[in-house]
Amino acid sequence: MAGGHCIDLLWCCRCRVVAGGEQRFQLLRRGDVVLDLGAAPGGWTQVAVQATAPKRGQDGAPRVVAVDLKHFDPVEGAAVVVGDFRQAAVRRQLDEALRGRQADVVLSDMAPSFSGTFLADSQQQLRLCHNALKMAELYLRPGGSFATKILRCDGSEDFRSELKHAFDVVKAMKPQSSRPESTEMFLVAKGFKGAKPAQSEQ
C-alpha cells in the first residue's frame, strides 16, 4: 500500500490526541463498521479493513463499505459500491451492503477535480465535506466518529462549528504528508450526538 493519503489515514488511526488531559482519540478500532466515502483508488479502504479486522462479522458481512463515483479494484474484506451516494438507488445499495448495521466510523477522502484556483477549489472541497457530513448523520450510530479532509478557507471554520454541534469532540490534524504551506487538514469528530429530529410542519 502506497501513497501519502494512505499513510495519513494510518497515522490518524494510530495517533492518540489528548483532549482535556483525559479523553484520548482512536479513530478506528477492531470490529468497527466503517463507511468510506470517495474511496477510489482504495487506499483508505485497505487501511480501514486492516484496522478493523476481523474482516467480516459473524454473519459474513464486510465491516468496511466503500463508495465512489469511479470504478476501482475490489478490496478484500470490503464491499464496494460504485455511484453517487446522493442518489436514492446508490444509498439502497449501501443499505444492502451494511445489512441494517449503523456505521461506527464514516471516512471521507473526497476531493473535487482541482482547477488550480484556490477559491473555487476550496469551496468545492467544502461542499463535499457538507455532503459527507449529511451521510454521517444518516449512517452513524450515536457515539460514532467522522473524519474528513478539508482545506482551510472561507467557510471551513463554520463547518468545524457545525461538527461541534453534532459531535462531542472535534480535532483538527495536519496530515503528515502535507507541505508546511498547505491548507489541507483532517477534521476528526468523535461522539456523534445522533441524527437531528425532523422538524414538524407548522
CA–CA separation, 47 and 43 (whole Å): 6
How are the residues of the chain apportioned to helix, strand and coil, as percentages rounded to the nearest 5?
30, 25, 40
Q: What is the CATH number of domain 4-192?
A: 3.40.50.150
3-state secondary structure of 88: helix
149 is catalytic: yes
Instruction: Write out residues in the chain with pLDDT < 50, as ranges.
Output: 1-8, 11, 13-24, 199-202
- 167: closest CA among 127, 194, 187? 194
- pLDDT tens for 117-172 read 888 888 999 999 999 999 999 999 999 999 998 988 888 899 999 999 999 999 88
CA–CA separation, 30 and 34 (whole Å): 11
Give the active site residue among 55, 70, 134, 149: 149
- Quick one: pLDDT at residue 28? 85
